[in-house]
Every structure is written in C-alpha cells, then in structure tokens.
C-alpha cells in the first residue's frame, strides 16, 4: 500500500493516513492509490479465509507494482449479495448488487471501477430469486444481472425474447428464429436497403417487420449477435472438418 501511495478517500490524491496496525484494525477499508480506488477486506469471511484466497490469487502489475488479486468467484462470494432485513417495512428486504474492479490494462492505472447498487425487494421475490439461482447453479448476483440485462433489452425492443439453447440463452424473435440467424441471412442475401430486407424476409418466411426488428436489435447490441454468429460458424467449420476426415478415411 505504501508503494501505491495509498491515502484515505475525500481529497484529490487521497488524505494522508498512517499505514500501520491501527489503521488496518478495521475489517473493511477504502483507499485512494496510484492505481485508482482500492477496497481492502482485512478479514475475508465465508470463503475459507485468507489462505484459501491466496491459493487462487492472480498476479497483475499496476503502475509498476506487482499485486496479487483474488479470483473473481472468491471476491464475489462474501460481498456480492447481501440481504439485510428492513424491520421498518414489513415483507421487504434490501438486495445489494456488489460490483468489483476489473483490470483492463488501459486508462488511469488500468482499472475499471464499476458501481454497487442496492434495491429493496419483497421477501417473496428474494425467495424466488434464491431458488431460481440454486436451480441454475449460479450466484444470485449473476442471475439478477442476467435478468436485468435481458429485461431491459426486451423492454426496449418489444418482440424480442430470450430463449434457452444448447449454448445458453440467446436473443430471438417472438414469432421466429434467433436474431443471429436473421442477421446472418441479411448479411448473405443480395440487394441493399429494403430489397435486402425483403430478400431476407422471403428466405426466412418472415414478415419484413420482423427482419427490421432484428436489424434494430443488432444495431444496438452488435457484439452479442456477432458472438453468436461466430460461434455458429466455428461449429459449422468443425462439422465440415470432421466430415472431410471421415471421407478421407473411407476413401
């Protein structure tokens, strides 16, 4: 911490604080450092203690200083989901979505500092959330983030839904194929503008409205759709390679 010029939050460059045993007597602290904001958890709980964290830590170099960083699953487990009863409001709990710093290697010190938000949810809803997370073998935070992400996207684009599949959940048309299939077709059919839309609609047996909706969704979230297209292309290439091997073997 001394090598990172750590100081207390509250002033540009950090407030001067003694980095001694008295300062670190608190189990959780926040510092301003040369690498950005850093939260310090002196007494990790619920994940096997410091020895468990150290055994899975990952090393990064920040501003010339080599640091060991806890694995994401270890950092998220004790603090990402905290439910605290609100006695003043019957049947309501506070649900906190905790976020953790990501090392990007760019910008100020290479750290991206996400935010943490708290929401007050009915107890019945938190119970359903916990059961669903257990059924899907994911953390409650992962499930909440996925539900928020999908919910906001489908609210913004009525007619878009998310479906389960062999490779996970993906965006699809409510009355037709997955969005990535529509976009893949649009990219390969002839024509331009409305003619391209019409050709894709005929090939997919869809009304042009649905093709336009897929295009609008793609324009907003291209990385999500392109990743699906790339995964499909990779799988198709693998199948062709296997077929070619069989033909060579049996020739």
> How confident is the model over 124-164, as pLDDT tens digits?
998 999 999 899 888 888 899 899 999 999 999 999 999 98
> Does 213 fall in a domain?
yes
> Does 55 fall in a domain?
no
pTM tops 0.75, yes or no: no
Expressed in percent and rounded to 5, the helix, strand and coil fractions of the chain are 45, 20, 35
- Supply the pLDDT for residue 161: 96
> Does 244 fall in a domain?
yes
> Does 23 fall in a domain?
no
Separation between Cα atoms, residue 235 and residue 227, nearest integer Å: 12
| Bridge pairing between strands 81-85 and 65-69 | unpaired
> Does 233 fall in a domain?
yes
- Supply the pLDDT for residue 40: 66
> Does 200 fall in a domain?
yes
Q: What is the side-by-side order of every strand in the sheet holding 117-122?
A: 81-85, 92-97, 117-122
Rounded to whole angstroms, the maximal C-alpha distance in the chain is: 78
- Supply the pLDDT for residue 74: 58
CB 103 within 8 A of CB 60: yes
Percent of the chain with pLDDT over 90: 35
Range(s) of the domain holding residue 229: 157-251
| pLDDT digits 0-9 by tens, 166-219 | 778 899 999 989 999 999 999 999 999 999 999 999 999 999 999 999 999 999
Higher pLDDT, 232 or 224: 224
- Domains of the chain: total: 1
- Scanning the structure block, which residue is given the tokens 């033909």? 247
CB atoms inside a 10 Å sphere around CB 90: 8
Q: Which long-range contacts (CB under 8 A, 24 or more apart) does 154-161 make?
A: 156/220, 157/213, 157/216, 157/217, 157/220, 159/210, 159/213, 160/213, 160/217
> Does 214 fall in a domain?
yes
> Does 215 fall in a domain?
yes
The predicted model gives 56-72 an average pLDDT of 68
Least Cα distance to 93 among 54, 119, 61 occurs for 119
Quick check: 107 pLDDT over 80?
A: no
Quick check: 103 pLDDT over 50?
A: no
Higher pLDDT, 68 or 205: 205
The predicted model gives 220-236 an average pLDDT of 90
């Amino acid at each position: 911490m001394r090598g990172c010029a750590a100081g207390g939050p509250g002033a540009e460059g950090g407030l001067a604080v003694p980095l001694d045993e008295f300062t670190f007597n608190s189990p959780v602290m926040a510092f301003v450092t040369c690498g950005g904001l850093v939260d310090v958890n002196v007494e990790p709980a619920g994940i096997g203690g410091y020895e468990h964290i150290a055994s899975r830590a990952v090393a990064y170099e920040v501003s010339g200083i080599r640091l060991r960083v806890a694995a994401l699953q270890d950092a998220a487990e004790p603090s990402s989901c905290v439910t605290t009863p609100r006695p003043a409001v019957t049947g309501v709990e506070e649900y906190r979505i905790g976020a953790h710093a990501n090392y990007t290697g760019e910008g100020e010190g290479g750290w991206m500092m996400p935010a943490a938000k708290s929401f007050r949810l009915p107890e019945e809803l938190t119970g359903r959330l916990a059961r669903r997370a257990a059924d899907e073998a994911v953390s409650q935070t992962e499930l909440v983030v996925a539900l928020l992400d999908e919910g906001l996207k489908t609210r913004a684009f009525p007619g878009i839904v998310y479906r389960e599949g062999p490779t996970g959940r993906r965006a699809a048309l409510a009355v037709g194929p997955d969005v990535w299939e529509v976009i893949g077709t649009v990219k390969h059919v002839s024509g331009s503008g409305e003619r391209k839309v019409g050709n894709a609609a005929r090939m997919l047996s869809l009304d042009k409205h649905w093709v336009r909706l897929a295009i609008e969704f793609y324009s907003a979230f291209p990385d999500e759709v392109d990743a699906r297209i790339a995964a499909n292309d990779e799988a198709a290439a693998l199948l062709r390679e296997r077929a070619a091997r069989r033909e060579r073997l049996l020739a």
